[in-house]
Amino acid sequence: MYKTPSQLPESARTALVNTLNDRLADGLDLHAAIKVAHWNVRGPQFPALHPLFEQFANQLALHNDSIAERAVTLGGLAHGTVRHVAKTSKIADYPNDVTRDLEHVKLLAERIDTYLAGIRESRSIGEKLGDTDTVDLLTGVVTEFEKNAWFLRATLS
């Protein structure tokens, strides 16, 4: 850990950086899955889903950047290589052979649920360690991606 403006003890910052890197891996993996769905979606829902998936990917890219920068601000390093993500992510592999619109919706909803579980876990760590800034950051992610998951589930209803 390097010197940082954070007032948190180094042990807390180390734990926070570790959990933020776990969420970064999940977020980068989910971003790739969303882009695959965006590129390959076909079916009657295409006109609505193609731009919606792009919107989700853009939102997630911003959150991934904020999570990585928070890890660095706390005195750590951000780990976001493809190989690291493949070893670390909790997001299920995304199938390469799906084209149907509602199948993509279902697959993304499941993966967003996994992503949100990890974000909530990291937010709890931030709460226990007294890092209100990380908690605020992750609460914003939860708020936005709960809404995104709701959009997807409403499409399946």
- The pLDDT, as a whole number, for residue 137 is 98
Tokens of 122: 């990291």
Residue 48's Cβ-side half-sphere holds a number of Cα atoms within 13 Å equal to: 11
Contact 11, 77 (CB under 8 A): no
Mean pLDDT of 107-127: 98
Please, is 97 exposed, middle or buried when counting C-beta atoms within 10 Å of its C-beta (0-12, 13-18, 19+)? exposed
Instruction: Write out pLDDT tens, residues 33-55.
Output: 999 999 999 999 999 999 999 99
Rounded distance between C-alpha atoms, residue 42 and residue 37, angstroms: 9
For residue 3, what pLDDT is reported? 85
pLDDT, tens digit (0-9, with 9 covering 90-100), for 63-88: 999 999 999 999 999 999 999 999 99
10-156 folds as Ferritin (1.20.1260)
